[in-house]
Amino acid sequence: MSAHEIDYVIMGEEIQCVEVQLDPGESVIAEAGSFMMMDPEITMETIFGDGSGSQRGNGLMGKLMGAGKRILTGESLFMTLFTHTGGYGRKSVTFAAPYPGKIIPLDLQQYNGKIICQKDAFLCAAKGVSVGIEFQRKLGVGFFGGEGFIMQKLEGDGLSFVHSGGYVLERTLQPGETIKLDTGCLVAMTSSVEYNIEFVKGVKTALFGGEGLFFATLRGPGKVWVQSLPFSRMADRILSAAGNSGRKEEGSILGGLGNLLDGR
């Protein structure tokens, strides 16, 4: 294996964290801002890119190219490398999920060394896993897929961890089997899954259905991870509630009319 062999424990229910256990000399890379706590024998270092060594060249230009890929996915220019520098014993470092949901462990060896995920799903991974970009080849997917032309890809033979919102459903698609889902509900998929965007049929449904104009079509074979609560959906509800913070009666039949009658 080129990636470090790490052990882990996922803790919590609705808001989870993952404790990664490292032997001396082992390292884990993590998204900036996901760190929670660590043992004294663990050292922390900020690095360009993902530290996998997959970038072209070992000099500054190679590192800048790797970091540049992360900018295209909307992530931070830097990642953080945590290494067990002690002389003996297993030590741990813990990473926390950014919002309520589930942490999904992915052993890339089981998925032909590659997983494609949404841009903000990655949490942490064993050192040696490459965190790069995956361009969507179809214009329809790029413009209307909710994730743009660029998604994130995890490559290698080590453990990776991604985060989903709410509850996560795992679905294994047989060859030719198709499922349709809200574009924001896709967390991750294996590289063998065909991803496309389909227009919602029917003018009334498209305009007044409240579910958007497009949904994602996934065709097997392969495995798909689907989240029940995309962060964008939760953020929309929070902003909507904040804009209506003057009324405390959440279940009021009057709704906006009540605000008008109140002089708000």
The DSSP string of 64-79 is: HHHHHHHHHTT--SEE
Residue 40 in domain: yes
- Higher-confidence residue of 19 and 54: namely 19
Residue 173 in domain: yes
Residue 256 in domain: no
- The count of domains in the chain is 1
Residue 151 in domain: yes
How far is CA 149 from its chain centroid? 16
Residue 119 in domain: yes
Residue 30 in domain: yes
pLDDT digits (tens, 9 = 90+) for 85-135: 988 889 999 999 888 899 999 999 999 999 999 888 999 999 999 888 886
Could you list the residue range(s) of the whole structural domain that residue 13 is in? Answer: 7-232
As a whole number of angstroms, the distance between CA 250 and CA 247 comes to: 7
Residues sharing a CB contact under 8 Å with residue 3, sequence separation 6 or more, in sequence order: 108, 125, 126, 127, 128, 129, 156, 157, 158, 159
Return the pLDDT at 203.
47
pLDDT digits (tens, 9 = 90+) for 74-84: 556 678 999 99
What CATH number does residue 219 fall under?
A: 3.60.160.10
Residue 260 in domain: no
Residue 28 in domain: yes
As a whole number of angstroms, the distance between CA 220 and CA 4 comes to: 31
The residue whose two tokens read 């499922």 is 179
Average pLDDT, the chain: 79
- Higher-confidence residue of 14 and 117: namely 117
